[in-house]
C-alpha cells in the first residue's frame, strides 16, 4: 500500500516524487483548503472566539480527490511549508480530509534536496497545535479588526474601504514620514575644501575647525572670513595616524535582509523578490548534466541566522579549495539570531554550494540568476575571512585652522573578493575609498584652491521597499512572511502609491490614518502591534494561549469601537470633493469628480436632485499643442538623438521627438510594474491603448505574445498553479477563469 505525501505547491510535486520513488504518491493542496467565510465574521466572539471554517470555494473536487487518496494510503505525510501557515494548512487538511490519527505524519524540510526529504520522512512528528494556534490567533485578530472596523470607515471616510491590523500601522509609518518632510525647515551650512599638493601627490582636505575644536559653519560671512585668512598661508601636516583594522562579513540572509539587499542591488520590488525566491526553493530543472530538478535555496521565510553543520563544512571546503586557506577564518563563523526571531529554519542559503551561479545560468531566468547569485555569494562570504584594511587619518593646519583628510586601502580582501556589502558603496565607516599620497608630520603642502560651498540640510527621505522593511523589522511589526503582503495590500487599497521607488501616502491614506490615530490608537501604535507579535510568538512557544491573547485584545478593542461609534465629534474625515472646471448643463452647478466601477467621471454635486454625469474632459477646450509646456521624458530619440517629449493625442499621451517635424519618431509611454512575464519571465510593462485605456504586455513583444487588460499579480493560483491577475484593483483572480474559478479579495489575504 503506497503512502501519500501532501505538499502546498504543485511545482514541488515532481521534484519530491523523483526523490521518493514508487512507494509514495505526491499531491498538492494548492494552499489552504479551509478558511473563514467571506460573507460573515466567521468568529463566534461570545463562544470563546470559536472560528467557523468552511471549505474554500473551488476546492471541492480537490478535497474529494485528496480524501479518496488519503483513505487508501498506508500513511499520510503532511509536508506543507515549515512555518505557521504551513502548520495550519496541515491541520486543516486533517479536518477536511478526515484523516485518522494513526495515519498522520507531519514532516518538514528546510530545502528540497534528496537528503533533506529522506531525512524528514524518517523523522516525522505530530502536528504542533501551538504553532497552529498562533496562526489561528493572527487570522482571527485580522478578521475581527477588518470586519468590525471596515463599516466604521465606510461611514466616516469613504464607502468600500477595508481596515487591516498591521497594514494600518504600515500606512501610518509612511504618512508620518510625509508629515516630517512637509514640516522640515532647511538650515544653511557651509563647507570648505582645500585642494593641496605634496611632493608625492594631491590631497583634498576638509575644514574641521579652529585648533582642535570642531566648528560648524552656518553663514557665508563667517565662511568667507576664514577663506580670506587662509589666503596665501602654508598648510602643514600636523599628525598622521595609520591603523590596520578588520571588517567582518555580513551574516547570511534572512527574509528581511534578502528583501532589503535585493531591492538596493537588483532594484526588485519585494513581491518580485519573494516570487523568484519561491521558484528557487521549489526547484529548477538543471538538466541531466546537473541531476535534473533541484531546489536551489533553503526556505525563504525565516528570521534565523543559523547554518547547519553540513552547510558550514561544505562552505569551508569550497573556500579553501577555490580561494586558499587564508580566506577561511581560524574558527567557523556562527551568527547570533535576534532574541525574538523564530529559529525553526536556517538562514537563507544555497542548498548545494557546488552549484555555482554561472555554472547553471543557462537554466535560470534572468531574475532567478540574479537573486540566486546574490544569495550564493552572500552565504559564502559570510563564512569567509575578514577583510584587512589599512587606514590613514591626517590633520593639516593653516592660520590656526585644522583640516582633516582620510582614506583607506585593502590590504587583504578576504570576503570582499566575492561580495561587497551595500554600505561599502561609499567607502567603509565613512572613509572615502581613496589612496592618499605619502604624508609625513611637519610636511608643508601648497594650496592650489580653497573651495567654500553652501549647503542646506535635507528632509528625511521617503521610505522605499528596503527602508520600510528594515523599519518594520526593527520595530517588530510583522514577520518575514508578512512584509510583502503588507506592502501589496496598502498599495492595492489605495492608501499608498509609488513615486519612482518611494512610497507616498495618498489623500485617502492620510485621512484614514488621522481617523485611526484619533479613534483606535492601539491598532496603529507601533509598540502595541509589536507586542501583539510577541504574544503570537508566545502562543507558538507554548508560553501563552490563543484564548487569553484574544480576550485581552478584544476587551480594549470593543471598548474603542463602541466609543467611536457613539462619538458625535464634528471633525470631518470625509474625502474632500475634487471640483472640475465643467458646468452642469442642466442646473448650472460646478461638476465634481466621482469614481465608479469604470473609473472617474464628472457628476453634478446636486445628486440626487440632478443626476447629470459626463465623461471627464468632455467639454473642456482643447489647447493647442504648442501652447502647452513641453514635458521632457528623459529619453533620447533612437533615430536622431534629440530629446523625446510627452505629447497628447486622441488616444492619450505618447512620446515624440522634440525635433518634429524634421524627425517624426514616436513611441508609446510604458511603465515597468515590477512583475515577471507569466510566459517567459521577462519584465511586464504597462502600456496605453486607444481611448486612454491601460493594458499590460511583455517587454519582449512580439517575440513573446503575452498581453492582458488585467494587471498580472506576479503570483500563481493556489488552486491550479496558473498565473493570478488583479481584477479592478481589488480582486486576485486566476487566468483560467472558466476552468478554475479561483478569486479572492486582496484585503482578505493571509500571510
Residues with catalytic roles: 299
Helix (H, G, I), strand (E, B) or coil at 206: strand
All three cell numbers of 449? 584652491
Across-strand partners of 355?
A: none
Instruction: Tell me how far apart the alpha carbons of residues 676 and 582 are, in angstroms, rounded to a whole number.
Output: 41
Instruction: Tell me how far apart the alpha carbons of residues 596 and 576 are, in angstroms, rounded to a whole number.
Output: 17
- Identify the burial level of 518 via C-beta atoms within 10 angstroms of its C-beta, where 0-12 means exposed, 13-18 middle and 19 or more buried: middle
Instruction: Tell me how far apart the alpha carbons of residues 682 and 314 are, in angstroms, rounded to a whole number.
Output: 33
All three cell numbers of 283? 526547484
Helix (H, G, I), strand (E, B) or coil at 271: helix
Long-range contacts at 101-105 (CB < 8 A, ≥ 24 apart)? 103/70, 103/73, 103/74, 103/75, 103/76, 104/76, 104/78, 105/75, 105/76, 105/77, 105/78
φ/ψ (deg, to 5) at 546 = -55, -45
Instruction: Tell me how far apart the alpha carbons of residues 75 and 78 are, in angstroms, rounded to a whole number.
Output: 10
Beta-strand pair 3-7/24-28? parallel
Query: What torsion, rounded to 10 degrees, do the Cα atoms 437, 443, 449, 454 define?
Result: 90
Please confirm whether the linkage preceding 631 is cis (ω < 30° from 0): no
φ/ψ (deg, to 5) at 236 = -120, 135
All three cell numbers of 726? 488583479
Three-class HEC string of 147-196: HHHHHHHHHHCCCCCCCCHHHHHHHHHHHHHHHHHHHCCCCEEEEEEEEE
| Whether 674 contacts 272, CB under 8 Å | yes
Backbone region of residue 238 per phi and psi (left: phi > 0; alpha: psi in -120 to 50; beta: other values):
alpha
User: How many other β-carbons are positioned within 10 Å of the β-carbon of residue 663?
Assistant: 15
All three cell numbers of 392? 590613514
All three cell numbers of 477? 511589526
Query: Grid coordinates 552656518 are at which residue?
Result: 218
Q: Which of 372, 296, 364, 270 is nearest to 675 (CA)?
A: 270
Amino acid at each position: 500500500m503506497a503512502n501519500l505525501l501532501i505538499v502546498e505547491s504543485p511545482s514541488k510535486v515532481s521534484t519530491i516524487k523523483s526523490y521518493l520513488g514508487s512507494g509514495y504518491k505526491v499531491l498538492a493542496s494548492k494552499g489552504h483548503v479551509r478558511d473563514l467565510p467571506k460573507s460573515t465574521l466567521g468568529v463566534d466572539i461570545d463562544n470563546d472566539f470559536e472560528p467557523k471554517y468552511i471549505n474554500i470555494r473551488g476546492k471541492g473536487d480537490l478535497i474529494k480527490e485528496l480524501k479518496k487518496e488519503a483513505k487508501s494510503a498506508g500513511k499520510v505525510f503532511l509536508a506543507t511549508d515549515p512555518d505557521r501557515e504551513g502548520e495550519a494548512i496541515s491541520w486543516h487538511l486533517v479536518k477536511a480530509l478526515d484523516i485518522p490519527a494513526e495515519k498522520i505524519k507531519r514532516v518538514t524540510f528546510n530545502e528540497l534536496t534528496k537528503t533533506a526529504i529522506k531525512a524528514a520522512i524518517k523523522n516525522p512528528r505530530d502536528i504542533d497545535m501551538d504553532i497552529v494556534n498562533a496562526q489561528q490567533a493572527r487570522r482571527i485578530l485580522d478578521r475581527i479588526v477588518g470586519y468590525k472596523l471596515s463599516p466604521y470607515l465606510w461611514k466616516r471616510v469613504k464607502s468600500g474601504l477595508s481596515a487591516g491590523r498591521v497594514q494600518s500601522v504600515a500606512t501610518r509609518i509612511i504618512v508620518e514620514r510625509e508629515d516630517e518632510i512637509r514640516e522640515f525647515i532647511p538650515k544653511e551650512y557651509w563647507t570648505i575644501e582645500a585642494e593641496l599638493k605634496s611632493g608625492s601627490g594631491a590631497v583634498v582636505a576638509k575644514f574641521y575647525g579652529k585648533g582642535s575644536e570642531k566648528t560648524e559653519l552656518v553663514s557665508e560671512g563667517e565662511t568667507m572670513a576664514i577663506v580670506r585668512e587662509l589666503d596665501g598661508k602654508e598648510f602643514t601636516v600636523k599628525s598622521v595616524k595609520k591603523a590596520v583594522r578588520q571588517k567582518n562579513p555580513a551574516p547570511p540572509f534572512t527574509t528581511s535582509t534578502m528583501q532589503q539587499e535585493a531591492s538596493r542591488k537588483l532594484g526588485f520590488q519585494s513581491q518580485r523578490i519573494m516570487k523568484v525566491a519561491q521558484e528557487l526553493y521549489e526547484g529548477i530543472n538543471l538538466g541531466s548534466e546537473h541531476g535534473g530538478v533541484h531546489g536551489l535555496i533553503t526556505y525563504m521565510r525565516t528570521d534565523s541566522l543559523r547554518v547547519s553543520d553540513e552547510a558550514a563544512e561544505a562552505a569551508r571546503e569550497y573556500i579553501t579549495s577555490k580561494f586558499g586557506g587564508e580566506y577561511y577564518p581560524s574558527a567557523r563563523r556562527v551568527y547570533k539570531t535576534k532574541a525574538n526571531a523564530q529559529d525553526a529554519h536556517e538562514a537563507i542559503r544555497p542548498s548545494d554550494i557546488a552549484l555555482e551561479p554561472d555554472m547553471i545560468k543557462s537554466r535560470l531566468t534572468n531574475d532567478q540568476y540574479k537573486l540566486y547569485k546574490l544569495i550564493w555569494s552572500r552565504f559564502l562570504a559570510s563564512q569567509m575571512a575578514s577583510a584587512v584594511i589599512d587606514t590613514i587619518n591626517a590633520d593639516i593646519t593653516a592660520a590656526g585652522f585644522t583640516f582633516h583628510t582620510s582614506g583607506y586601502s585593502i590590504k587583504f580582501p578576504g570576503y570582499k573578493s566575492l561580495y561587497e556589502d551595500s554600505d561599502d558603496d561609499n567607502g567603509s565607516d565613512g572613509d572615502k575609498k581613496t589612496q592618499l599620497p605619502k604624508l609625513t608630520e611637519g610636511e608643508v603642502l601648497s594650496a592650489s584652491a580653497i573651495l567654500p560651498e553652501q549647503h542646506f540640510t535635507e528632509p528625511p527621505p521617503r521610505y522605499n521597499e528596503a527602508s520600510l522593511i528594515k523599519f518594520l523589522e526593527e520595530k517588530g511589526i510583522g514577520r518575514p512572511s508578512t512584509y510583502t503582503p503588507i506592502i501589496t495590500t496598502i498599495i492595492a487599497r489605495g492608501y499608498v502609491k509609488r513615486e519612482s521607488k518611494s512610497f507616498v501616502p495618498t489623500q485617502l491614506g492620510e485621512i484614514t490614518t488621522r481617523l485611526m490615530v484619533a479613534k483606535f490608537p492601539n491598532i496603529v501604535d507601533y509598540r502595541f502591534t509589536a507586542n501583539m507579535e510577541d504574544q503570537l510568538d508566545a502562543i507558538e512557544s507554548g508560553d501563552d494561549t490563543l484564548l487569553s491573547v484574544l480576550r485581552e485584545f478584544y476587551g480594549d478593542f470593543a471598548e474603542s469601537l463602541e466609543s467611536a461609534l457613539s462619538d458625535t465629534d464634528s471633525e470631518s474625515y470625509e474625502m474632500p470633493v475634487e471640483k472640475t472646471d465643467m458646468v452642469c448643463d442642466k442646473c448650472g452647478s460646478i461638476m465634481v469628480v466621482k469614481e465608479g466601477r469604470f473609473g472617474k467621471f464628472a457628476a453634478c454635486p446636486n445628486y440626487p436632485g440632478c443626476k447629470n454625469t459626463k465623461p471627464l474632459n468632455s467639454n473642456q477646450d482643447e489647447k493647442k499643442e504648442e501652447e502647452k509646456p513641453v514635458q521632457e521624458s528623459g529619453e533620447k530619440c533612437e533615430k536622431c538623438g534629440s530629446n523625446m517629449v510627452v505629447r497628447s493625442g486622441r488616444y492619450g499621451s505618447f512620446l515624440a521627438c522634440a525635433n518634429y517635424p524634421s524627425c517624426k519618431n514616436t513611441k508609446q509611454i510604458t511603465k515597468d510594474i515590477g512583475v515577471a512575464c507569466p510566459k517567459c519571465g521577462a519584465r511586464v510593462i504597462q502600456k496605453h491603448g486607444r481611448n486612454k485605456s491601460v493594458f499590460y504586455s511583455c517587454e519582449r513583444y512580439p517575440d513573446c505574445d503575452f498581453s492582458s487588460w488585467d494587471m498580472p499579480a506576479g503570483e500563481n493560483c493556489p488552486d491550479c498553479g496558473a498565473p493570478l491577475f488583479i481584477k479592478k484593483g481589488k480582486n486576485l483572480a486566476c487566468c483560467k477563469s472558466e476552468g478554475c474559478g479561483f478569486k479572492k479579495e486582496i484585503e482578505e489575504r493571509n500571510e
